[in-house]
Amino acid sequence: MRELQKKTAFIAGFLQTILNITLTILAMILVVFLLKKTVFIFDVLLIRNEEVGYFYLAEGIIVYFLYFEFISLIIKYFTHDYHFPLRYFIYIGITAIIRLIIIDHENPLTILLYALAIVLLVFALLIANHSNIKDNEPLD
């Protein structure tokens, strides 16, 4: 029985190490994309002399925030004992839907459905935060 526990612990540790390495690589890739998006935003705002559509710029800025959210999610994973907080997934979902509204704003019914999805995610966030407050867990 003790031998089985040792093997199970070894397998779990090995898989955790692989997960940590791949998440670190993913974080580095996201940082590269974040830097590229920073150059893009400065290029659009400061260097180009031509008019740029507001929707195009807003989409770039929201994608920029998506990179921030994914990087902060990975940071929280490592600082919270290898656990992804649910709130960050909800934040990423809300930001991604806002990006969809900015990109695809032709059909009013689609925008209404996106808005309802955001309201649903906000309620999920309230429930998640309420359960953390009841359990006396700090929100960070």
* 18: in domain: yes
* 117: in domain: yes
* 99: in domain: yes
CA distance 16 to 77: 12
Structural domain of residue 2, as residue ranges? 1-131
Mean pLDDT value of segment 29-47: 86
Read off the pTM. 0.74
* 62: in domain: yes
* 136: in domain: no
* 115: in domain: yes
Q: Say which residues have a Cβ less than 8 Å from residue 22's Cβ, sequence separation at least 6.
A: none
Comparing C-alpha atoms, which of 14, 5, 70, 64 is closest to residue 35? Answer: 64
Total structural domains in the chain? 1
* 81: in domain: yes
Q: What tens digit of pLDDT does each residue of 69-118 get?
A: 899 999 999 998 888 888 888 999 998 998 888 887 788 999 999 999 99
CA distance 5 to 11: 10
Q: What is the DSSP string of 35-57?
A: HHHHHHHHIIIII--S---HHHH
In the DSSP assignment, the letter for residue 85 is: -
Mean pLDDT value of segment 11-24: 94
* 94: in domain: yes
The pLDDT of residue 113? 94
